[in-house]
Structure 1
Amino acid sequence: MFRSTSLPRFQGLLPYVPYLALIGGILSLSLGTSFAKTLFPVAGPMGTAALRVGLSALILLAVFRPWRHSFTRKDLRGLALYGAVMGLMNLCFYLSLNTIPLGIALAIEFTGPLSVALFNARRPLHFVWVLIAAAGLSLLLPISGGVSTLDPVGCAWAGAAAVFWALYIVYGQRVSHFPSGATVALGMSMAAIVVVPFGAVTAGATLLAPGLLAMGVLVALASSALPYSLDMIALKSIPKRTFGVAVSADPAVGALAGLLLLGEALTFTQWLAIAAVMTASVGTVLTTTREKKKEKLATAAVQKAAA
């Protein structure tokens, strides 16, 4: 009798599971990154990045066991490039967090995928999104009294992370036809090869302290393993357009996590800048998705006419 009454209620919640997974992934990433920043006084930004990437690689290797798949030398070169830019993206992002708030670092870094989306911009509306994003970024530059507290070096590291995020998308698309689990595991392993030496040089034997390793595992799970797994659940059922719009909330969620967990209060101007970047991102997702649908319809019409 318990099953007959409770099961229909549970089944009614099933359509919401992908969206709950999407929200959970966004929250987990922001919370994990906020927690990682608390390790900076002990391990430093490079040491923390090494812990996150290195332990994530070990977890992903154990779960997905990529050695069960066969790859050619060309495949491995592509995976190596994908993993290298992943590692450099993480390293630069953690270096930026050393001196600027999490929400602002995410907003600056988010211009990487935004730039990729707008690279082939042709319509006037696309350039509107570029201008909005540029206006938001201009508010973050430490050239006016309202945001003079922002460290230019930290902003530069976040900008470098944005460049590597753009390259991560480009190289990631080139290896997207491989099994996803094996691809992420091998990519993260290459990222660890790139990042761990920096952490070993700066933090040394401190990284092997049992307490720090335990916290590093939590960071790796919250910042990598759990968000990636939840994203895979979400992407199976949620349209890419909806997914892209939701992910655009990352800078705001990161800013709130930084405020609540790290005490990183932002000014009104900085919140306005984050809102501008998010608006540009949402607008880009909506307009490019609509155009792709039109292109598919046009192609289908041509094919039908040719037949």
Structure 2
Amino acid sequence: MSALTPRALPVPPWLLAVTAMFSVQLGSALSVGLIDNVGPAGTAWLRLSLGAIIFLILARPPLRSIRLPDMPVLLGLGIVTGTMTVSFLVAIERIPLGTAVAIEFLGPLTVAAVRSRTVRAAAWPALALLGVVLLTEPWHGAVDIVGIGFASLGSVCWGGYILLTQRAGDRFTGIQSLSITIPIAAVTAAVVGIPQAVGHLSLGIIAAAAGLALLLPVLPFALEMLALRRMSASAFGTLMAIEPALGLLIGLLVLGQMPSIVQIIGILLVVLAGAAAQRGGDRDDPIHHDPVTETGLA
């Protein structure tokens, strides 16, 4: 099988990134039906488990290339991915999709602001937080604290996911690293997912979960990896700032979650803060530690 290199792809990297984000939000919205049957943790477990099987079919894990210092990074990345998936699905069961995405986005936004090493950058997470307040509209007295809490946990995990993915990327390239971390994520989700899903499984539910696994995690994780190998970190991060708006749009079109004018303003503030925080956010030259060369889907 010939290697599929990022440079050989006929599509621009920004389109790969936007397609990945669209796939994430569509997969999240379509997961709502599965959540009704097996619960949010059960849905996360099924999606990640089937996604892990797909990644293992596509690429052989580079187990012989793993060194002792790699273990905490790979384990941490898998655990964070599993926790993030469960937290986000619990959140969208209780609060609108666009609101959950905006809250989760505070994690990578804070990472970008801290990396910029400027006092002015601290204003962007504050602006995004104002946008989240407008989204949740606490003055109406109908705030779902549990939903917001799980979305906030997801934001912490998303920030950690970015940092750990970068560390893993210094050692491994292509989707072979995903064939290690996604199975770990599936095991993490299984702790709460299996008890929630047991007794509710059927061939139809497993088939639906397999389709959702292609939308999330398989397609977006692979596309993001290909995009990041052709884009700067700041360019990718700036583009990622539209994800809360995509979440709001998908929530409207797929789930019928109509935002108010105030909530639309809130999303715009989050998007503005995200784009501004990424300016000048390029990573310093990374120190590569003998990256593993991979064949197949690289």
- TM-score (normalised: structure 1): 0.83
Distance 2:105 2:233 in 1: 17
In structure 2, relative to structure 1, the CA distance for the partners of 1:90 and 1:125 (3 Å cut) is same
Pick from 175, 180, 190 the counterpart of residue 186 of structure 1.
180
Native 8 Å contact 1:142 1:151 kept in 2: no
Q: Which residue number corresponds to residue 157 of structure 1?
A: 150
In structure 2, relative to structure 1, the CA distance for the partners of 1:155 and 1:36 (3 Å cut) is same
Distance 1:283 1:75 in 2: 33
For this pair of structures, how many residues does the alignment match? 276
Greater percentage in helix: 1
Opposite residue 161 of structure 1, the aligned amino acid is: G
Native 8 Å contact 2:83 2:154 kept in 1: yes
Native 8 Å contact 1:100 1:151 kept in 2: yes
CA offset at residue 96 of structure 1? 0.4
Opposite residue 281 of structure 1, the aligned amino acid is: G
Q: Which residue number corresponds to residue 251 of structure 1?
A: 244
Gaps of 5+ in 1: 1-13, 294-307
Give the 5 Å matches for 1:68-217: 69-120=64-115, 122-141=117-136, 143-145=138-140, 148-180=141-173, 181-207=175-201, 209-217=202-210
Distance 1:19 1:171 in 2: 22
Q: Tell me which moved more, 171-180 or 210-219.
A: 171-180
Question: Match of 1:98, SS?
Answer: helix
Give the 5 Å matches for 1:292-307: none
Distance 1:215 1:120 in 2: 40
Residue 261 (structure 2) pairs with residue 268 (structure 1): yes
Cα offsets for 1:143-192 (capped at 9, x unmatched): 312xx444121011100111111122233333222223222221111111
Identical columns (%)? 32
Opposite residue 37 of structure 1, the aligned amino acid is: V
Distance 2:233 2:50 in 1: 29
- TM-score (normalised: structure 2): 0.85
Cα RMSD, aligned residues only: 2.2
Kindly name which structure, 1 or 2, has the bigger radius of gyration based on alpha carbons.
Answer: 1
Opposite residue 48 of structure 1, the aligned amino acid is: T
User: Runs of 4 or more off by more than 4 Å in structure 1?
Assistant: none
Q: Tell me which moved more, 164-173 or 216-225.
A: 164-173
Distance 1:259 1:15 in 2: 32
Native 8 Å contact 1:142 1:152 kept in 2: no
Q: Which residue number corresponds to residue 3 of structure 1?
A: none
In structure 2, relative to structure 1, the CA distance for the partners of 1:153 and 1:68 (3 Å cut) is closer
